[in-house]
Amino acid sequence: MTVRPSAPAFPEGFLWGASTAAHQIEGNNTASDWWHFEHSGSGFVSEPSGDAVDSFHRWPEDMDLLVGAGFTDYRFSIEWARIEPAPGEFSAAMIEHYRAMVQGALRRGLRPLVTLHHFTAPLWFTARGGWTAEGATELFVRYLDRIAPILDAGVEHICTINEPNMVAIMASLRKQGAGTDAFTTGGLPTPDLETGEALIRAHHAARQLLRAKHPGAKIGWSLSLQDVQAEPGAEAAAAEYARPRQTVFVEAAAGDDWIGVQTYTRIVVGEDDGAPVARPVPDDAQRTITGWEYYPPALGGAVREAARVLPDTPVIVTENGIATSDDDERIEYTAGALQSLKSAIDDGIRVDGYFHWTLLDNYEWGHYGPTFGLIAVDRQTFVRTPKPSLAWLGAVSRGADEIVAA
Ligand code: BGC
């Protein structure tokens, strides 16, 4: 018998779910920019997404596993490249596909939180210059205007754009021709300012349209918010460091119905010669498969920071998790993260939900190596094998404060 770590009880009505993203699980997203990118010989990508884990066909089974474990919510994204594979050509079949997913979730007792853009765009959109090209916002809004049948099927929470700050960082890395190892050394590259501004404009335009068309829906966006910690005396430098990478995007959520916080680790910032510097993760620190420092309480820190900037906006944790092949470590990490989240709630911060990243081991933007999933997937047969963490977190979501597993 193994006694699993306990996790604290959460408020009534709390959203408990897992998150996924279409490109990472569906497979064969051939009209997308990422599919093209995966086959263009870029140094970012070591293997293509291929079939991913075939959730395009197997979403009913995936939802059954989630609800069967006790969860009440599912965050998934819809794929613009499938819905509008060529400019102005909208696929009724794909709109119906995602409408059926929303209905399928609700029928099972899962409330869908739907993301409208999770890193991927139609290839044609990116080829014409992406977010910074003239008319980009109008094209995004035109797509949103056409997906009413999906959202009207019963979506209460809508996330316009996932991690705009990371999209802007990726834009800047691509301009410099740098690789993803930029993420493992500690700290984050500076986002591309123009891309960031364009995404903020697109979010505000999207919010306006969605509010007019779907007055009952709660609209927000989800940000990559790591726990930025200042070395003693470097508080101003840490704030300066966080500003372009995180804070401006939090401020842009003013007026939203909620803000999505997505946290994996911390970043320690010091000051050298008057400038902020992210310290490298120490050599002896415990790291995850992605190379990030293992630091569960980062979640509470990031949530507190979002609430400091926007005290009146409810937080939803839209992603939090760990890439590990040791599921006991996943449970231990998640229990620690939830403790830090509960302590923020106890201090008066309004947090409306927690979505674990992620439901299934999946395509981690360039390779299948990092396993973040609550469920393992055989990529030849697509057989799903739940890990103990799925049942553990499901039980936590039902209010159990300690789980004993065989
Ligand atoms: C993204 C996910 C990604 C996860 C782990 C977030 O940046 O939204 O798509 O897989 O972090 O890297």
Give the Cα separation of 395 and 342 in Å (integer): 16
Where in the chain are the domains?
15-398
Residue having the nearest C-alpha atom to atom 10 of ligand 1: 364
The structure's pTM equals 0.96
Judge whether 7 and 334 are in contact, CB under 8 Å.
yes
Judge whether 331 and 403 are in contact, CB under 8 Å.
no
CA neighbor of 83 nearest in space, from 39, 148, 179:
148
**278 - beta bridge partners?**
269
Helix (H) or strand (E) holding 385: strand 384-386
Judge whether 183 and 169 are in contact, CB under 8 Å.
no
Q: What is the structure's pLDDT at 176? A: 82
According to the CATH classification, is domain 15-398 in 1.10.220.10? no
Q: What is the structure's pLDDT at 1? A: 41
Burial (Cβ within 10 Å: 0-12, 13-18, ≥19) of residue 320: buried
Verify whether residue 163 is a known catalytic residue.
Answer: yes
- Average pLDDT, consecutive stretches of 10 residues, N- to C-terminus, the chain (406 residues): 63 95 99 96 89 98 98 99 98 99 98 98 98 98 98 98 98 79 72 98 98 98 98 98 98 98 98 96 96 98 98 98 98 97 97 98 97 98 98 92 42
Top mutation candidate among 357, 360, 367 for ligand 1, by most atoms within 8 Å of CB = 357
Catalytic-labelled residue, pool 163, 305, 332, 364: 163
Question: Which sign does the torsion angle of CA 357, 36, 290, 170 carry?
Answer: negative
- State in Å: Cα 1 to ligand 1 middle: 33
Give the Cα separation of 62 and 69 in Å (integer): 11
Give the Cα separation of 284 and 137 in Å (integer): 45
- State in Å: Cα 274 to ligand 1 middle: 32
Give the Cα separation of 103 and 306 in Å (integer): 32
Q: What is the structure's pLDDT at 184? A: 58
Give the Cα separation of 259 and 207 in Å (integer): 13
Question: Three-class SS of residue 360?
Answer: strand
Top mutation candidate among 49, 161, 292, 319 for ligand 1, by most atoms within 8 Å of CB = 319
Q: What is the structure's pLDDT at 301? A: 98
Give the Cα separation of 318 and 356 in Å (integer): 7
Helix (H) or strand (E) holding 222: strand 218-224
CB within 6 Å of ligand 1 — which residues? 21, 24, 162-163, 166, 224, 262, 319, 357, 364, 372
Give the Cα separation of 349 and 402 in Å (integer): 24
Sorted by sequence, the CB contacts under 8 Å of residue 201 that are 6+ apart come out as: 137
